[in-house]
Amino acid sequence: MRVLVISQYFWPEPFRINDLVLGLTERGHKVTVLTGIPNYPSGRFYAGYRLLSPRKEMFEGIPIYRLPIVPKGNGQACRMTLYYLSLALFGSLWCPFCFRKDIDLVLVFQPSPITVGVPALVVRRLNNAPILLWVQDLWPETLSATGMVRSKFMLRCVEKLVRFVYSGCDRILVQSRAFSPGVRRMGVSEAKIFYFPNTAEDLYKPVQLESDAPERAHMPKGFRVVFAGNIGRGQDFPTILSAAERLKQHQEIHWVILGDGSMRSWVERNVKALGLTETVHLLGKHPVRAMPRYFSLADALLVTLKSDPIFALTIPSKIQSYLACARPVVAALDGEGARIIEESGAGISVPAGSPEALGKTVLKLSRMSKSDRERMGQLGRKYFEKHFERNRLLDRLDGWMKEEVNTRGF
């Protein structure tokens, strides 16, 4: 099957769509990717890329077409708007020249933004290829929750765009079951909505590090609480730092942050202002393949989201990575993410936005026996294998794709 994947983000940016594309290729599909110039999460083009970089490159034998975009910069609303709209605009102009035919199906990866679906509608208009839209974030709710857009008029305009994109798709895949009501509110029938959660790459698994592993030298000694991923507005770093401040006198407890993002400079300033330089450590961005190695040195893995109804519906993709690595999890979030942590027995969840509860829970975990924490990690791994295992989910997606294409007789 000839599959066009459209995504705002793609390799070398660290998103799950990279592995999904590889999985589809493993199953014999001929995949082509349409994306932008990599600049996530720093907002600056990666080294070696420029606005007028060569338009085509290869990823594991898979052709990638890169569109000129406005990089997201420091994440301000105006710059983000240009970032999102530029890919939609140039993608819509590019598709009639490159994808007028020879496409059987379009798969759209849609964290933010929904505008990434617009070029897919152009391709559908050209050759009637079915569209599967994989929803990672609900719009316009996410825009409102992060504070990126406050104008009610603009939110209504975005809602109209969401309805337009959804109406042109054949199936809406949701990463959380709790997304379904929000998608239905946009006029989508229940029959078109399918639950398709994130998985984790096969590299996420329990790891036994060598005694001289370089990662050991990077990590502080003591009880390590490790956060990995985007340092952004939605991750509620004020709660993390406030919890760390409450435990400041417990010098053996260390908060380790692996990643980068628009809030990093804010975090660095406040770590100094609050006197947390001895217990909060920003280790920067590291390759995805290094993550399981760092996770193996964690006594607990941390996942947080802001307290907001929209974030209660989502399942942060780092949860699957954490579970797969068989480490105990401490979660400061509500809703679906918290349910998974509690249901799996993989750790302890506390309400989002509660630094007091987060601090008490981290202290409780630090005083728990290592065997009890290891048991949590093993339960998490079993839950991952049952609900989020990679090949099981790829088989499900492969089946849906074939159903859509066969319906059209391609």
Delineate the domains of the chain, giving CATH numbers in brackets: 2-199+389-408 (3.40.50.2000), 214-387 (3.40.50.2000)
Mean pLDDT, rounded, for 180-196: 97
Mean pLDDT, rounded, for 52-76: 89
What DSSP designation does 189 have?
-
Residue-level pLDDT at 321: 98
Mean pLDDT, rounded, for 200-221: 94
Give the whole-angstrom CA distance, residue 51 versus residue 2: 28
Token pair listed for 261: 């993002």
Token pair listed for 165: 């994109």
Cross-strand partners of 174:
135, 195
pLDDT confidence bin for 42, thresholds 50/70/90: confident
pLDDT confidence bin for 80, thresholds 50/70/90: confident
Give the whole-angstrom CA distance, residue 196 versus residue 174: 6
User: Whole-number mean pLDDT of the chain?
Assistant: 94
Q: Between the CA of residue 336 and those of 128, 185, 319, 322, 348, what are the distances in Å?
A: 36, 19, 11, 16, 14
Residue-level pLDDT at 98: 81
Residue-level pLDDT at 99: 83
Q: Which residues, 6+ apart, have CB-to-CB distance to 87 below 8 Å?
A: 8, 35, 36, 67, 69, 115, 116, 119
Token pair listed for 209: 């590090």
Q: Is the pLDDT of residue 409 over 70?
A: no
Q: Distance between terminal CA atoms of the chain?
A: 9
**Strand order of the sheet with strand 2-7?**
56-59, 62-67, 30-36, 2-7, 105-110, 131-135, 171-174, 193-195
Give the whole-angstrom CA distance, residue 160 versus residue 114: 11
Q: Tell which residue, 310, 319, 373, 382, has the closest CA to residue 347.
A: 373
Mean pLDDT, rounded, for 344-350: 98
Residue-level pLDDT at 165: 97
pLDDT confidence bin for 105, thresholds 50/70/90: very high
Give the whole-angstrom CA distance, residue 9 versus residue 321: 19
Residue-level pLDDT at 104: 95
pTM over 0.85: yes
Token pair listed for 163: 């309805």
Q: Is the pLDDT of residue 100 over 90?
A: no
Mean pLDDT, rounded, for 67-88: 88
Q: Is the pLDDT of residue 378 over 80?
A: yes
Q: Is the pLDDT of residue 410 over 60?
A: no
Residue-level pLDDT at 41: 85
Token pair listed for 84: 């999102």
User: What are the strands, taking DSSP E only, across 79-222?
Assistant: 105-110, 131-135, 171-174, 193-195
